[in-house]
């Protein structure tokens, strides 16, 4: 693909990537997944996203100055989510738009996201939402859909500011307290309840009653998005209360049909 017309009037440049394929026709495009580039410069990230040998891409890249580039047409399946899951769907590439934010990420000090970049992201999300039905709970972090592999866009990402712009599902995190959290090695009904709530919200959570490494990783992913003050994978009362409030305020249209067995142990 040598060129294409941008899907959004907000796009400043089209930089075609060869890394894409057909979307599965039976799947509705109903999600936006946010990433950081995790490289030292935006130029290096763009080169990788357009390199056929890298086999990775996204639909949009947003620079630190707010410039929006489009790499893959929205109708095509960009290769950004990898092995992923949300609310019963295991092919998130077929159901989502992938947006990369130029940011060094954890390997380069997890820098703050500039105001111009977040303003551009909010505008782009609204624009995408004008073309597709994107439930609030389907504005997602890469770490939400790939919690065992990924940490982006990280605990410094300003989800609250997106929520103020009417984008995404968010509640003010419940305050931390000096309670005894559920943690690796815990077991019993409280662990089952936690795992079940994570699964209902959309995470790839098996309900086993045993708090192992994967539950710890899921809780850490949840904390990165919804309770970023402390990301330790331990389900303290602040984490659990925040999850309960999110479930209580979750839009009804958000859920896909859940499978009979959810997640992996």
Residue pair 83/56 in contact (Cβ under 8 Å)? The answer is no
Residue pair 85/94 in contact (Cβ under 8 Å)? The answer is no
In which residue are the tokens 């075609």 written?
16
Q: State how far the Cα of 49 lies from the Cα of 71, in Å rounded to an integer.
A: 8
Catalytic residue among 22, 55, 74, 100: 100
149 in the Ramachandran plot: left (φ > 0), alpha (ψ -120 to 50) or beta? alpha
One-character DSSP codes across 95-127: HEEEEEE----GGGT-PPPPHHHHHHHHHHHHH
Which string of b and e fits 212-233 if b means at least 16 CB within 10 Å? Answer: eebbbbbbbbbbbbbbbeebeb
CA distances from 70 to 141, 161, 262 (A): 19, 23, 34
Residue pair 69/46 in contact (Cβ under 8 Å)? The answer is yes
Q: Tokens representing 255?
A: 């859920």
Q: Tokens representing 39?
A: 């490289």
100 counts as catalytic: yes
How do strand 139-141 and strand 31-36 relate by DSSP bridges? parallel
Residues marked active site are found at 100
């Amino acid at each position: 693909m040598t060129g294409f017309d941008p899907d959004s009037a907000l796009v400043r440049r089209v930089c075609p990537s060869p890394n894409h394929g057909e979307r599965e026709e039976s799947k509705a495009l109903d999600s936006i997944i946010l990433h950081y580039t995790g490289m030292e410069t935006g130029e290096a990230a763009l080169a990788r996203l357009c390199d056929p040998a890298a086999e990775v891409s996204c639909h949009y890249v947003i620079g630190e100055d707010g410039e929006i580039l489009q790499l893959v047409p929205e109708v095509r399946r960009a290769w950004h989510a990898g092995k992923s899951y949300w609310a019963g769907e295991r092919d998130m590439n077929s159901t989502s738009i992938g947006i990369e934010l130029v940011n060094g990420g954890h390997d380069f000090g997890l820098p703050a996201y500039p105001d111009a970049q977040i303003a551009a992201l909010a505008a782009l999300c609204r624009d995408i939402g004008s073309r597709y039905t994107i439930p609030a709970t389907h504005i997602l972090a890469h770490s939400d859909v790939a919690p065992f592999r990924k940490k982006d866009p990280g605990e410094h990402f300003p989800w609250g500011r997106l929520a103020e712009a009417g984008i995404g599902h968010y509640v003010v995190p419940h305050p931390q307290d000096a309670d005894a959290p559920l943690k690796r090695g815990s077991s019993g009904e409280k662990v089952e309840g936690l795992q079940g709530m994570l699964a209902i919200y959309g995470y790839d959570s098996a309900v086993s009653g045993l708090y192992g490494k994967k539950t710890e990783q899921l809780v850490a992913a949840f904390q990165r998005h919804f309770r970023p003050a402390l990301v330790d994978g331990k389900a303290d009362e602040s984490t659990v209360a925040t999850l309960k409030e999110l479930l209580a305020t979750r839009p009804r249209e958000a859920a896909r049909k859940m499978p009979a067995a959810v997640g992996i142990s």
